[in-house]
Amino acid sequence: MSESERAAAKQAFCEKVSGLIERSGMTQIEIARALGYENANIITMFKKGSTRVPPEKVVPLAHVLGQHPGTMLREWFVAYMPEVLSDIEAHLA
């Protein structure tokens, strides 16, 4: 994956997360607390892409936002660790 493709994948993931958060009907502080954070600022950082969603928070975030965890995990790996995703898919397929 080229650097521009990787940047596009990161942007797409952040835009998806942002859209899901906006449509969730939840406040950012509600989402933050559901994920174990005290401050809603982290959710803004996830939406803008200034901080990536930690891998251990992808599944909980998917649940909070009503998304399939496997789909969201795959999209996260495409954006942030595509080489690991290739290995995972090769061995679990």
Residues in the chain: 93
d(C-alpha 62, C-alpha 59), whole Å: 5
Which amino acid type is present at position 32?
A: A
CATH number of the domain residue 44 falls in: 1.10.260.40
**pLDDT given at position 54:** 97
CA distance 72 to 2: 21
- Alpha-carbon gap, residue 82 to 65, rounded angstroms: 23
Q: What is the pLDDT of residues 17-74, one digit of tens each?
A: 999 999 999 999 999 999 999 999 999 999 999 999 999 999 999 999 999 999 999 9
0.85 exceeded by pTM: yes
- Classify each residue of 21-36 as buried b or exposed e, where b means 16 or more C-beta atoms within 10 Å of its C-beta: beeeebebeebbeebe
Band of pLDDT at residue 93, cut at 50, 70 and 90: low
pLDDT of residue 88: 85
Domain that holds residue 75: 3-92
- The whole-number pLDDT of residue 53 equals 97
pLDDT of residue 1: 75
Q: What is the pLDDT at residue 31?
A: 98
Domain count for the chain: 1
Distance CA 78, CA 1 (A): 9
